[in-house]
Structure 1
Amino acid sequence: MKTVINLFHPNYQYSQVNRAMVDAVKDKIEVRNLAELYPDFNIDIEKEQQVMANADRIVLQFPLQWYSTPALLKHWEDQVFTYGWAYGSQGNTLQDKQLLIAVTVGADNYGRDGFVKYTVDELLRPLQATSRLIGMKYMKPFVVMGASSISNAELKNVGPSYSKYLNDETIPVLGDFE
C-alpha cells in the first residue's frame, strides 16, 4: 500500500512534535512538505493530482490553527480536489482511497469539560465531510494533544506511535458521525 504524507506546517522548523513524527517515518514513507513546495501558494495542480492518484493512502499532517486547518491546506484542497477529478459524475479518482489525518494540537483542553468545549474530532468534521464527498475512506485520525507543552518523555513516544499508526492495516474507517 503506497502512502504519501502531505505536511502542511507553516512553521515546521519550530515544531518539535511534527519533526519527531516526520523523522520517524521519512525513510519508509514519502513525506512532502507543502509549505516548502508552495511558499507562494501557487499550487501545481496537475502534479498534486498525479501524486494523489498514485497513492493508496493520503495523509494530511498539520497543526490545528484557530480550530481549523492551516491556510495552505485549505487552499490546496480548493485547488486539487476539483470537480470532474475528485467529485462530480466523472470525478472518481480518489474513490476508495484512504484519507488519514495526523494533527497536532497545542493545547490539551478540548472537549465538553475543557476550555474549548469542542472535541478535536468535531473540529475535523469538514475534512470528514470532504472525504465523503470525494469518495475517500476517512480513517480514525492520529491526534497529538498538548503539543506546545509536551514533555521530553511524551515526545520520545510520538514518533514510534506515528510510525505504528501509519503501518497499521486495520485503522478503523469512521462513519458519518463517528
Structure 2
Amino acid sequence: MKRTMVVLAHPDMEKSVVNKKWIEELQKHNDKIIIHDLHKEYPDCIFDIDREHNLLENVENIILQFPLYWYSSPPILKKWLDDVLSYGWAYGDDETADYKMKGKKIGLAVTVGAPEENYMKNGSVGFSMDEVLIPFKATIKYIGGIELPSFIFYDAVPETGDEKISESAKKYSDYVLNL
C-alpha cells in the first residue's frame, strides 16, 4: 500500500485556521497517511535522525505542510531539512549510489495569510508563489525527489469562512490520497 507522510511544521496548531482543519481531515485516513507533527514530536528541535530516516524510507510520498513565514517555512522545518537530509543518506557525490530520497514524490502544502493577487508580478509581493518556493523545489531536485504540484491556500486568516476552509480541507485530503 502506498503511504504518504505529511511533515507538519506549524508552531501553534491550536491557533491555526486552515492547517488545523487540513490535519483533522487527513486524520480520517490514518491507514494511508502518517501525520508527523514536528513541534509535537520535537519541541526542543533536537531530531532523532535515525527515526526520521526510517520514517522517510518507509513511505512513497512526502508532503511538507507549513504556513508561509517571511517567504519561507517556520524555522523547525528548515532545521529538519538541514539535519535529516544528510550527506550520504539523502544525497552525495556518487551518482550511482542508492540515496534514500531518490525517486520519492515530494510536495508542498502551504498556507498563506495574504490574498493570491499579492503573489503576482504586479502584486504587492512581486513574486509568484512558485518563485517564493524555489528553495524547496531546488532541494527536492537536488536530493533526486520528484516534485509534486504544490497545494496552496491563500487568505488563511481568521476571517476566512468555515465553508471555504472545509472545502479546502476536502480538496487537500483528495490531493494527498490521490498521489
Task: Tell me which residue corresponds to 1:168.
Answer: 178
| 1:112 shift after superposition | 1.2
Task: Tell me which residue corresponds to 1:86.
Answer: 90
| 1:153 shift after superposition | 2.2
Change (3 A) 1:64 1:91: farther
Identify which range, 84-93 or 9-18, moves more after superposition.
84-93
Contact 1:84 1:91 in 2 (8 A): no
Give the whole-Å Cα distance in 1 for the aligned partners of 2:49 and 2:124. Answer: 39
Which structure 1 residue ranges, 4+ long, deviate > 4 Å from structure 2?
none
Contact 1:83 1:91 in 2 (8 A): no
Does residue 161 of structure 2 align to residue 154 of structure 1?
A: no
Task: Tell me which residue corresponds to 2:14.
Answer: 13
The alignment's TM-score, normalised by the length of structure 1, stands at 0.91
Gap runs ≥5 in structure 2:
none
Give the whole-Å Cα distance in 2 for the aligned partners of 1:91 and 1:106. Answer: 39
Contact 1:59 1:102 in 2 (8 A): yes
The alignment's TM-score, normalised by the length of structure 2, stands at 0.91
Task: Tell me which residue corresponds to 2:67.
Answer: 63
Task: Tell me which residue corresponds to 2:81.
Answer: 77
Task: Give the aligned residue type for 1:64.
Answer: L
Identify which range, 55-64 or 90-99, moves more after superposition.
90-99
Paired residue total? 169
Which secondary structure state, in structure 1, belongs to the residue aligned with residue 11 of structure 2?
Answer: coil
Give the whole-Å Cα distance in 1 for the aligned partners of 2:160 and 2:106. Answer: 26
| 1:91 shift after superposition | 5.7
Gap runs ≥5 in structure 1:
170-178
**1:95 alignment partner, one of 78, 102, 108:** 102
Contact 1:99 1:136 in 2 (8 A): yes
